[in-house]
């Protein structure tokens, strides 16, 4: 370790406040210091390599340090680094909007840029809310979301979320929404089996719509994979039925694909698995392949037209961010989309996804792995104290966190969601790397629980 890093660690402890981090955990030992990255590896200050198994919080798509994206950003820096996007436009923003419209369902024709996933989701909800006022249905103010859903950490998106461990401290500040049961088959609220449940968890939605459809504005959910809620992969049949109910009720359907977009589930967007047609599509994370902050909210011409009028009518959508449509970020996103085409990324995912999902299922042999789930390049492993009763470990045991710390010795960065370990791999991960990751993880778990 260089003297520079020794000094930096002291400064970190003195000045920084890290997200989702209890700093007392690092009172004696410093946290992992990342010096550089390449491909699917992160390297610490001593040069030790670690697999970036969570894609640096789900945003790295093509691996670290891709030269094509670096070059695109550098070329744009010579032209324009930043300009406000209110009444001003630029080529990268225009081209990126066109590409996103071409990639998504044809009815999504309008793109509103922002800078992170929370804002992308909050924008969709605000647009829906204002839309109904401007088309003469102001009574439509109800917002529906799912338990174990997660849409961000702003006050608005915390209100939409159903993950109490993240948001309960702020409950007095949040507005109420209609929360539906999560399609969490392993811990079904109705104690049913997936093969015969007939989607009982959708019955509350049917009842709500039968009673209050004319009061509802929108529903927001993560299609096919509830990410921060525990990497809960659920069936396409559930999503198809939910979409049918929502369309029949005539309310807005918002898909939060901040985590699932850009190839994570094996398609460019998770909605493609069911040919769904949401009224709003929220994107971020993989949009720039992890290079720069950026988000986008896509919607329909019908929604856009409800805001189009003389300024005096007061229908303008008053929302924006300093770095909305930033040209450097847009250039990174365009370069990433070019890589998808050039490298035929999605076409080549099949064998790797099969390898990951089949390899993950083998972990069910472990006495403390109660459930294995996932799709595409995502696999999750739920730790339990007793498999027969599905009894979780006591929270104070912090089993997931202890395995994360142990995993660093095996060259794995496994940042769990409570006691759910997961792999959220860059799409560029090779088959040999997937095998190596699974083998290291298997050794880690057997040796950890043997003590």
43 is catalytic: no
| CA 148 – CA 152 distance, rounded (Å) | 12
The one-character DSSP state at 383 is E
Catalytic residue (one of 20, 190, 342, 432): 20
Handedness of CA 236, 241, 245, 247 (dihedral sign): positive
For residue 3, CA distances in Å to 26, 45, 281 come to 20, 10, 47
CA neighbor of 145 nearest in space, from 177, 192, 102, 185: 177
Could you please report the per-residue DSSP string of 57-114? HHT-SS-BT-HHHHHHHHHHHTT-S----SS---HHHHHHHHHHHHHS-TTEEEEEEE
Catalytic residue (one of 50, 131, 150, 234): 150
- With contact defined as beta carbons under 8 Å apart, do 161 and 167 qualify? yes
Q: Does an H or E element contain 284, and which?
A: none
Catalytic residue (one of 256, 279, 371, 419): 256
285 is catalytic: yes
131 is catalytic: no
186 is catalytic: no
- With contact defined as beta carbons under 8 Å apart, do 182 and 201 qualify? yes
The one-character DSSP state at 28 is S
| CA 257 – CA 281 distance, rounded (Å) | 7
Catalytic residue (one of 131, 285, 419, 422): 285
The one-character DSSP state at 26 is G
Angle at the Cα of 120 from the Cα atoms of 343 and 99, rounded to 5 degrees: 35
CA neighbor of 263 nearest in space, from 353, 196, 203, 174: 353
The encoded tokens of residue 333 equal: 């996103």
| CA 293 – CA 134 distance, rounded (Å) | 32
Q: Catalytic residues, which ones?
A: 20, 150, 256, 285
């Amino acid at each position: 370790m260089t003297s520079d890093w020794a000094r930096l660690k002291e400064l970190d402890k003195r000045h920084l406040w890290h997200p989702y981090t209890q700093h007392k955990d690092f009172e004696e030992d410093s946290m992992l210091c990342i010096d550089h990255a390449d491909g699917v590896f992160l390297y610490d200050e001593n040069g030790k390599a670690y697999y970036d198994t969570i894609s640096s919080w789900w945003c790295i798509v093509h691996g670290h340090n891709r030269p094509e994206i670096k070059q695109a950003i550098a070329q744009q820096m010579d032209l324009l680094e930043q300009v406000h996007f209110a009444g001003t436009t630029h080529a990268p923003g225009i081209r990126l909007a066109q590409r996103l419209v071409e990639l998504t369902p044809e009815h999504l024709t309008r793109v509103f840029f922002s800078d992170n996933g929370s804002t992308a989701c909050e924008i969709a909800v605000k647009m829906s809310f204002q839309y109904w006022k401007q088309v003469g249905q102001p009574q439509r103010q109800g917002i529906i979301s799912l338990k174990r859903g997660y849409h961000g950490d702003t006050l608005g998106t915390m209100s939409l979320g159903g993950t109490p461990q993240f948001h309960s401290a702020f409950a007095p500040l949040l507005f109420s929404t209609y929360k539906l049961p999560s399609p969490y088959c392993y811990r079904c609220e109705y104690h049913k089996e997936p093969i015969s449940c007939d989607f009982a968890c959708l019955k509350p939605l049917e009842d709500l719509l039968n009673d209050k459809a004319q009061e509802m504005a929108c529903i927001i959910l993560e299609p096919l994979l509830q990410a921060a809620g525990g990497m809960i992969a659920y069936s396409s049949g559930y999503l198809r039925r939910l979409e049918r109910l929502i369309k029949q009720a005539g309310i807005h359907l918002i898909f939060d694909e901040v985590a699932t977009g850009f190839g994570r589930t094996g398609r460019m967007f998770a909605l493609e698995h069911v040919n769904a047609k949401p009224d709003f599509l929220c994107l971020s994370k993989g949009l720039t392949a992890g290079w720069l902050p950026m988000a986008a909210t896509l919607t329909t011409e019908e929604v856009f037209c409800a805001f189009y009028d003389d300024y005096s009518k007061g229908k303008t959508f008053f929302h924006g961010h300093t770095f909305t449509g930033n040209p450097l970020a847009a250039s990174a996103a365009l370069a990433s989309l070019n890589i998808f085409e050039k490298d035929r990324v999605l076409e080549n995912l099949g064998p790797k996804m099969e390898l990951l999902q089949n390899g993950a299922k083998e972990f069910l042999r472990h006495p403390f792995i109660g459930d294995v789930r996932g799709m595409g390049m995502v696999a999750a492993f739920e730790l339990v104290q007793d498999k027969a009763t599905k009894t979780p470990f006591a929270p104070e045991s912090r089993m997931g966190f202890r395995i994360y710390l142990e995993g660093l010795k095996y060259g794995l960065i496994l940042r769990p969601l409570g006691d759910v370990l997961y792999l959220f791999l860059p799409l560029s991960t090779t088959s040999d790397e997937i095998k190596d990751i699974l083998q290291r993880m298997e050794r880690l778990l057997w040796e950890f629980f043997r003590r």
